């Protein structure tokens, strides 16, 4: 309580004092570019995925644009230890996403390399996914996919380097006959989710859908 008085939570965009469970103030919230996509209809993320692998459905919560607020939110989550951002983003998804008859069987997160996760202290997708799992009553598996190589952050790579992810991921267990919702933070080239999707699709009679916090669309 005393710490709250001297070090109150502040909006990550304008620095106004806000409640502890928020990321941005009401004024700045209106500046977030939500996509308003429908999960089971055509949208830019789904169309990009279709060029790379057979995707069932795809959804991005926000647009990921240079210098926009969604980029700042995700950078707070990934690089500034603001794990609460994952909770807030999950709540925003739950307010907007209706699976209807396309509910997946399992939520699977894109993994960090163990060394990267030790450096960061957490995987930015775990809290996000666990809250969605509880809300939609869909099980999750943070360990279905393993990352085989340690590399620097995607944000620090040039575009060509981001395209080179061959043999980067593998499955840790046998799965078949499942509809997997693959969860990542940002969709840019789509190469990361495509690499993992093919591992899942080639493992058996599986289907893959995609959910990202933000899409570069």
Residue 183 CA to residue 109 CA, distance in Å, equals 5
Q: What is the CATH number of domain 33-215?
A: 3.40.50
- Statement: residue 65 has pLDDT above 60: yes
- pLDDT tens digit sequence for 125-147: 999 999 999 999 999 999 999 99
If you ran DSSP here, which 8-state letter would residue 101 be given?
Answer: T
Average pLDDT over residues 106-114: 91
pTM over 0.75: yes
Helix (H, G, I), strand (E, B), or coil: what is residue 66? coil
**Structural domain boundaries in the chain:** 1-31, 33-215
Mapped onto helix, strand or coil, the DSSP state of residue 63 is strand
At 68 the pLDDT is 85
What's the pLDDT at 9?
86
CA-wise closest residue to 210 among 47, 34, 94, 85: 47
pLDDT at residue number 187: 96
pLDDT at 163 over 60: no
Reported as a pLDDT band with limits 50, 70 and 90, residue 153 is: low
Angstrom distance (rounded) from CA 203 to CA 209: 15
């Amino acid at each position: 309580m005393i710490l709250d008085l001297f070090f109150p939570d502040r909006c990550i965009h304008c620095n106004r004092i806000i409640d502890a469970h928020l990321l941005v103030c009401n004024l700045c919230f209106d500046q977030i570019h939500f996509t308003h996509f429908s999960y089971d209809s055509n949208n830019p993320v789904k169309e990009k995925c279709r060029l790379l692998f057979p995707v069932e459905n795809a959804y991005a919560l926000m647009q990921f644009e240079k210098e926009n607020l969604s980029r700042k939110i995700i950078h707070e989550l990934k690089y500034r230890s603001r794990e609460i951002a994952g909770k807030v983003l999950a709540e925003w998804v739950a307010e907007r996403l209706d699976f209807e008859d396309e509910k997946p069987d399992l939520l699977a997160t894109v993994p960090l390399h163990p060394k990267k996760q030790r450096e960061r202290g957490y995987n930015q997708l775990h809290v996000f996914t666990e809250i969605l799992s509880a809300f939609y009553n869909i099980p999750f598996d943070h360990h279905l996919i393993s990352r085989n190589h340690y590399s620097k952050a995607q944000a620090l790579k040039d575009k060509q380097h981001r395209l080179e992810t061959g043999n980067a991921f593998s499955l840790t267990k046998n799965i078949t006959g499942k509809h997997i919702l693959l969860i990542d933070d940002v969709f840019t080239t789509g190469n990361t989710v495509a690499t993992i999707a093919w591992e899942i699709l080639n493992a058996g009679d599986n289907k893959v859908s995609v959910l990202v916090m933000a899409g570069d669309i």
